[in-house]
Amino acid sequence: MWRSPSLCCLLAVAHLYLLSSVDGQETGPSHEPQKLICITHDLQNVTCSWTPTSTGLSYKFCYSDRSTPFSSLVCVKTQDNRAEMPLFSFGSTFIELEAFNSSTILISQTKFWLLDENITYVPLTPQIDNLTANFSTRTLNLKWNDGGSAVPLDTHATWKIRVLRKDPMETVALETYNSSITGKKDILLYWRWTSDIPLECTTHYVQIRCYHDLEYFPGTKSWSEWSPLAKIPGQDTGSLLKMFPVDEVVQVGSNLTFCCVWKTGQHLESIQYSSYPPAKSPAIRLSNWSTMINVPNVNKSAESGENAWCKVDSFYPGTTVFIGYPPDTPQNLTCETSNFKEITCQWKGGRLTNLYSAKRRTNYTVFESISGKNVTYNGEENPDYYRCNFSILNGQRLYNFTVHGSNPLGQSESSLSIDINYRVCPQTPTALTVTDSSSTHITLSWHLSGNLAPVMLQCQVRLNSSGATDSLIVQLNGTDDLDYSILVDKLHPYTKYAFQIRCSAAEPFFWKWSEWSESKHHTTLEAPPARGPDVWRERSPDGETVNIFWKPLPPSETNGLIQNYEVRWSDPDKGLVSEEVPAYHNHTTISLRGNDYVFHVTAKNKAGSSPPSQIKSAELLTESPTTEEGFATGDGVSIDWLPDSEVTCGYTVKWCHQLGPERCVIDWETFPSNVTHAVIKSALFQPGVRYNFSVLGCKDNGYQLMKYVNGYIKELSPRIAPMVVVEHTTSDSIVITWEILSVSDSGGFLKGYLLQFAKGEEDRMKPKEFETKLFNITDPKQTKLKISDLQGRTSYHLNLSAFTAGGIGPARSLYVITEENSVGLIIAIIIPVAIVVVLAFVTSFLCYRKREWIKETFYPDIPNPVNCKALDFPKGPCEGKANPKTLEMNPCTPNIIEVVETQSPCLKIEDTAITSPVADELPEDGFDSETESHIVVSYCPPIIEEEISNPPGDESLGSSQVVYIGIQSMYPPQIKLKEEPGVDCVAAAGYKPQMQLPINSLIKMEDMSSAEEDVDKAAGYRPQVNPPTWNTGCPDSPRSIESNNENASFGSPCSINSRQFLIPPKEDEDSPKVINTGWSFTNFFHNKPND
């Protein structure tokens, strides 16, 4: 039914009709049935059900398709809330549902159209046909009928299979299974499921349901109901005490589950696997008599397995598990034959399975699919090598082999197809023998087992002689268990060989070579030497004898053991002369007796003599042969010579190996006439050693020396430093000489010398520290050098070293001091003397010009009182003492007291020049307005009651007058002190009056009481300055300079009985002048007046 898309479209158009409203009167709307549902199981009948609104009702279910009049409805009475009707296709179905109460009175009537899309398709509930279990593999096998006979058309079915276990039941697996249903036909379906726990641990349940995917069904499609449960009972019935699984084999990395079942009345205390911590595998309850644990990611077990156990009361049931790997795929499978009787297949097993017992290890079987035969491997397990033999079948060339490997954890296999003719590997040849045919030919024989007639053989012969290996390949016809032989030629006479042989199938059937046979050693027969020895001759200095030298032939050319050498020559008197020399000698001496001969030398062994070698004794004279230097190549000496058209029998380069001070071994090398260049090499050559070569040309009438060549195979730096001495020195040059290095010490051809020199004290400078001046002496024959432009009486270090193309040799050091320069010495003496003379003259001249000033400054007539200690006071007379010490003097009676100018007590007395009161006239106000200020005070001490008569000499003066002036320092003060408010102005002044009283108060002293006069008298004499400010030293003395006091006074204070300073300056009394007694450097250059 709904198979055609066109029919589906027509049905869709029909579905556009809406459900018609009920056209009739409803007697009881509240009693209408609810939730009307119509379903079909087989697409033929529809079952409609509804929900009743009350109990005790009966129903009348009437239906009709749209083509049938309403008067022909088909009605069905039912006491249930369901009714069936046929499924009408391509249209709607009219349904009338009437409800009756228990009195059969109509209480409701419902009319409507049922559309196709309102019908739901629900498959019939499936039934499980069979459920079985394989406890060893933990698998459940399910079998059921797909119910296709109830479905009228083909469709696709989807099945849900649910597995449950535990008490109460829990779903542990829900899997989907797809199948195809053939309409009107039942088909059995099968499904297998593997449990993660042993099936013995608890009961497992299985149920199924289905869904049919009807492509053209317009209504809703739904899942069927779940089938009834089918179960596999476990061992947890309370009648068994055991641990599961039992002796199970699992793969490394698996998750293991162990369960313990016990009897009714017993109690489980613990369950554990090997050394796995119980805390990481907690117990899980399955049922009242079963508990399990999970162990994840297990490692491979020991050979005896790993144990798990549980403790139930006092019992310890347990089990063992073996953990390993499934068999690896057979690797490097090859099959071949060696004798066309058996085919040998071999392979590698790969990774070890870790399963060792006969029941658990890997079993291999070789199966040949064409013949259907197989062979089982019965050997020990070996991951590196497995081998089986399969008998060859008559007439069969193609074979298809498959190697199967299996163990409890899995299977593996590998296949190979071969053509037996292309897989031939003969056995190793045996019974190898060697037979001589000649000195260069032998016959080689051997034996091969097996029937190799189907193929052509090829055999390879390997020859080894003195480390050199050669091979030979020959082809042979295959035979059946016969010997084979071949002829081997082109061998060297009297040579020891080691023979080996191996064989294989020839092309096109070549597969692989057999193993090499054992070695067979054999020495070939002797033959005459292949050529004559290399010869040379040396004439004695007097020419009477000649030494004939020859070189032994190499073993490859002797062809046997050399027994002796024969020297033959033709003598005019004796004819043919011969001499035999033992084999251990390489020379002989022959007397010439004034003749020249041609000598023939041959080598002899048991097989015969070599071809003769010829040498001429005649030597031609050469005029002044040149000596050249050969070029070092690192392993030899390169020599060139000019071609000579007269040379017909080649060139010879001769040299000598110095083996001691008196022993020299002659060596030589010959070259054809067309060669003009050669590199001479020898195992005896050493770097840094000079070798002397002679190049000779062989002409028809003898040998002629062409030139000498000196050379090194490799030049080195000189071994020692040159012996250098100082020949003589001057103040500006050094002449050194040295010896030329010997040939043995030079290490190469000398290219010159390097001289380094620099200034430096002895043992103070190393050569590497030189700030050097370098002389490069490029003439290797030079032995003398003059070093110029040096400094006199100077130390020099000199280093002299020789150099070659191989490098610079060690240096010889010298320490040299140049001679003293006499001219410089004279100049060094004259210049200081001249300077001293000039300075003495200038000093004398200045002293002469300043003689008066010098006398007055440094040699005065009257000593300076400043240096006298008599006037030194520890401190001021009135400072801190009641009765100070004073300078006592006789009192005087003043005639006149004249106050020229008064000053305040705090007036600062200016420093002025010391001026005689008679010499200059002062202005009326007593000050010089332009230059210096002067303070003139006419002063007389207090009146003394005692009269003092004037001395006779002083009567003419009339009166005694004292003039006080400021005394200026003889030198300018270093620092001008500032006035400080807390310092006594009078005390700070340079000069002080004899009483610390104001001048205008002297007049009032006459009215003082007698007590006051006593006090004044007690004051006594006061110096004119503060004693601490006196400077008794010289003006330029450190003490006067350090005092730093601008009020310091110099010289002597005034006496009260004197009219002038006690020590006046020495001046002309008629013309008194201001005199500055201080010393100044400018005075030294200042001319005094009158000079």
Task: Please give the Cα distance from 611 to 1034 (Å, whole number).
Answer: 130
Q: Helices 851-858 & 822-849, crossing angle to 10 degrees?
A: 80
SS3 state at 856: helix
Residues 6+ apart with CB under 8 A from 1012: none
Percent of the residues in the chain that have a pLDDT greater than 90, as a whole number: 48
Phi, psi of 43 (to 5 degrees): 60, 20
Residue 292: what pLDDT? Answer: 94
pLDDT, one tens digit per residue, over 748-804 is: 999 999 998 888 887 655 544 546 688 899 999 999 999 988 888 888 888 999 999
Task: Read off the tokens for 218.
Answer: 């317009």
Task: Name the average pLDDT for the chain.
Answer: 78
Confidence of residue 21 (pLDDT cuts 50, 70, 90): very low
Whether a cis peptide bond, with omega within 30° of 0, leads into 508 is yes
Task: Please give the Cα distance from 824 to 731 (Å, whole number).
Answer: 10
- Least confident among 31-45, 186-200, 605-619: 31-45
Residues 6+ apart with CB under 8 A from 309: 243, 271, 272, 316, 317, 318, 319
Nearest to 691 by CA among 740, 624, 625, 630: 630
Task: Please give the Cα distance from 24 to 339 (Å, whole number).
Answer: 105
pLDDT higher for 715 or 934? Answer: 715
Residue 870: what pLDDT? Answer: 53
Task: Please give the Cα distance from 963 to 934 (Å, whole number).
Answer: 11
pLDDT, one tens digit per residue, over 191-222 is: 999 999 999 999 999 999 999 998 888 889 99
Task: Read off the tokens for 462.
Answer: 């390997």
Confidence of residue 401 (pLDDT cuts 50, 70, 90): very high
CA-to-CA dists, residue 1071 to 285, 466, 920, angstroms:
150, 141, 9
Nearest to 266 by CA among 303, 291, 230: 291
Give me Rg for the CA atoms of the chain.
Answer: 74
Contacts 24+ apart (CB under 8 A), 844-853: 846/1084, 849/1087, 849/1091, 850/1084, 852/1088, 852/1091, 853/1083, 853/1084, 853/1088
Residue 710 neighbours by CB distance under 10 Å: 15
Task: Please give the Cα distance from 274 to 295 (Å, whole number).
Answer: 10
Task: Read off the tokens for 719.
Answer: 């071994």
pLDDT, one tens digit per residue, over 1040-1070 is: 444 444 444 444 444 444 444 444 444 444 4
Phi, psi of 133 (to 5 degrees): -135, 145
Q: If you write DSSP's letter for every residue of 23-52 in order, what string do you get?
A: -S--S-GGG--EEEEEEESSSSEEEEEEE-
Task: Compute CA 126 distance to the chain's CA centroid, rounded to the nearest angstrom.
Answer: 74
Confidence of residue 524 (pLDDT cuts 50, 70, 90): very high
Residues 6+ apart with CB under 8 A from 85: 45, 46, 48, 61, 63, 74, 76, 93
* Pairing of the two strands 34-40 and 74-78: unpaired
Task: Please give the Cα distance from 763 to 767 (Å, whole number).
Answer: 11
Instruction: Provide the H-helix boundaries in 969-1060.
Output: 985-988, 1010-1019, 1038-1043
Q: Rounded to 5 degrees, what angle do the CA atoms 605, 610, 614 make?
A: 135
Confidence of residue 514 (pLDDT cuts 50, 70, 90): very high
Asked if pLDDT for residue 67 goes beyond 70, the answer is: no
Confidence of residue 871 (pLDDT cuts 50, 70, 90): low
Task: Please give the Cα distance from 1002 to 1014 (Å, whole number).
Answer: 15
Task: Compute CA 854 distance to the chain's CA centroid, rounded to the nearest angstrom.
Answer: 89
| Mean predicted confidence (pLDDT) in 228-246 | 93
Task: Please give the Cα distance from 144 to 208 (Å, whole number).
Answer: 9
Q: If you write DSSP's letter for every residue of 680-739 in order, what string do you get?
A: E--TT--TT--EEEEEEEEETTEEEEEEEEEE-SS----SS---EEEEEE-SS-EEEEEP
CB-based burial label for 770 (10 Å; 0-12, 13-18, 19+): middle
CB-based burial label for 355 (10 Å; 0-12, 13-18, 19+): buried
Residue 379 neighbours by CB distance under 10 Å: 10
Residue 1052: what pLDDT? Answer: 45
Task: Compute CA 393 distance to the chain's CA centroid, rounded to the nearest angstrom.
Answer: 67
SS3 state at 198: coil
Phi, psi of 308 (to 5 degrees): -135, 145
Task: Read off the tokens for 696.
Answer: 């000779």
Percent of the residues in the chain that have a pLDDT greater than 70, as a whole number: 74
pLDDT, one tens digit per residue, over 132-165 is: 999 988 999 999 999 888 888 889 999 999 999 9
Asked if pLDDT for residue 956 goes beyond 80, the answer is: no
Residue 912 neighbours by CB distance under 10 Å: 20
Residue 892: what pLDDT? Answer: 61
CB-based burial label for 192 (10 Å; 0-12, 13-18, 19+): exposed
| Mean predicted confidence (pLDDT) in 224-246 | 93
| Mean predicted confidence (pLDDT) in 20-49 | 69
Task: Read off the tokens for 819.
Answer: 């001679």
> Which stretch of DSSP H or E encloses residue 835?
helix 822-849
- Least confident among 244-258, 271-285, 702-716, 851-865: 851-865
Residue 1076: what pLDDT? Answer: 43
pLDDT higher for 457 or 1010? Answer: 457
Task: Read off the tokens for 307.
Answer: 């144990």
Asked if pLDDT for residue 106 goes beyond 80, the answer is: yes
| Mean predicted confidence (pLDDT) in 854-868 | 69
Bridge partners (DSSP) listed for residue 82: 49
Do the beta carbons of residue 261 and residue 251 sit within 8 Å? no
Residue 215 neighbours by CB distance under 10 Å: 13
Residue 762: what pLDDT? Answer: 74
Residues 6+ apart with CB under 8 A from 265: none
pLDDT, one tens digit per residue, over 340-387 is: 889 999 999 888 888 888 888 889 999 999 998 999 988 777 778 899
Burial call 787-816: b when 16+ CB within 10 Å, e when fewer: beebebebbbbbbbbbbbebeebebbbbeb
> Which stretch of DSSP H or E encloses residue 10?
helix 5-14
pLDDT, one tens digit per residue, over 461-471 is: 999 998 889 99
CB-based burial label for 448 (10 Å; 0-12, 13-18, 19+): buried
Residue 89: what pLDDT? Answer: 67
Instruction: Provide the H-helix boundaries in 850-956.
Output: 851-858
pLDDT, one tens digit per residue, over 107-127 is: 888 888 888 888 899 999 999
Residues 6+ apart with CB under 8 A from 623: none
Do the beta carbons of residue 463 and residue 488 sit within 8 Å? yes
> Which stretch of DSSP H or E encloses residue 830?
helix 822-849
| Mean predicted confidence (pLDDT) in 276-295 | 91
Contacts 24+ apart (CB under 8 A), 4-8: 5/216, 7/90, 7/216, 8/216, 8/218
Residue 499 neighbours by CB distance under 10 Å: 22
Asked if pLDDT for residue 82 goes beyond 50, the answer is: yes
Task: Please give the Cα distance from 432 to 499 (Å, whole number).
Answer: 9
- Least confident among 74-83, 216-225, 575-584, 994-1003: 994-1003
Do the beta carbons of residue 691 and residue 708 sit within 8 Å? no
Confidence of residue 993 (pLDDT cuts 50, 70, 90): very low
CA-to-CA dists, residue 260 to 139, 271, 289, 296, angstroms:
19, 8, 8, 18
DSSP 11: H
CA-to-CA dists, residue 10 to 4, 13, 46, 65, 68, angstroms:
10, 5, 21, 16, 19
Do the beta carbons of residue 375 and residue 392 sit within 8 Å? no
Asked if pLDDT for residue 40 goes beyond 50, the answer is: yes
Task: Please give the Cα distance from 430 to 448 (Å, whole number).
Answer: 7
CA-to-CA dists, residue 195 to 177, 280, 283, angstroms:
17, 22, 18
